[in-house]
Amino acid sequence: ITYYRLQETYKGIPVYGCTIVLAADENGSVQRIHANVVDIPEALRTDLDMSEADAKESIQKYLEDKGKFEMELSDFESKTPVIYAFSETPVFAYQMEAVIDQELYEVVIDADSKEVLLCTTKNYTEMATARGKDKDDNFVSFTANQLAEDSWILEDTERNMRVYDAAKQSEI
């Protein structure tokens, strides 16, 4: 089986965490489809910009609101436009990587309100091998990376699959 992952986009902008995964047999026939896509309103503005100063201010305010006054934002990079669809309504946002207290974080900031929508570590704290049975009752193994006490990413790089929790939305 070959797996194909298609990224949902809106006006050429990726929709964060929204994909379609197709599983095809050796003849190219689709055997399974998993879709995690959303409808994006036509009126969604995608022409908003965010300065570096705005992004840094938003992240610093987020840290202070979380009571993390001692945490220091030292750098961020790769500001990428995305549609973030895990809030009440989809919003145009910017995804970036930020170095906070010498740890790498993924941050998504609403381009209009400048609110931090997501701030999660990209540093794994523990790695383990997980095993389980597939739909054909065969044992399979894959890597599980712990991000936080209650947050894991499960990866099967051999079959190009991963499972994670994006605002309580699963992706395979």
Query: What tens digit of pLDDT does each residue of 52-67 get?
Result: 889 888 988 988 888 7
The pLDDT of residue 164: 57
How many Å apart are CA 63 and CA 9, to the nearest integer?
30
For 31, phi and psi rounded to 5 degrees?
Answer: -100, -35
Q: What Å distances lie between residue 172 and 13, 19, 147, CA to CA?
A: 21, 9, 18
Q: What confidence tens digit (pLDDT) does each residue in 65-105 have? A: 887 766 676 676 778 999 999 878 899 999 988 887 777 88
Q: If DSSP codes are grouped into helix, strand and coil, which group holds residue 64? A: helix
Strands 30-35 and 2-10 turn out to be: unpaired
Q: Which range, of 5-19, 54-68, 97-111, 152-166, averages the lowest pLDDT? A: 152-166
Q: If DSSP codes are grouped into helix, strand and coil, which group holds residue 51? A: coil
Q: Which range, of 45-59, 122-136, 143-157, averages the lowest pLDDT? A: 143-157
DSSP state of 142: E
The pLDDT of residue 116: 92
The pLDDT of residue 168: 44
How many Å apart are CA 74 and CA 102, to the nearest integer?
8
Q: Is the pLDDT of residue 172 over 90?
A: no
Per the CB < 8 A criterion, the answer to whether 76 and 60 are in contact is: no
pLDDT, greater one: 88 or 37: 37
DSSP state of 159: G
Q: Is the pLDDT of residue 169 over 50?
A: no
Mean pLDDT over 16-25 rounds to: 90
Q: If DSSP codes are grouped into helix, strand and coil, which group holds residue 105? A: strand
Q: Is the pLDDT of residue 170 over 50?
A: no
How many Å apart are CA 20 and CA 36, to the nearest integer?
6
Mean pLDDT over 154-162 rounds to: 63
Contacts of 81 (CB under 8 A, 6+ apart): 13, 46, 92, 93, 94, 95, 111
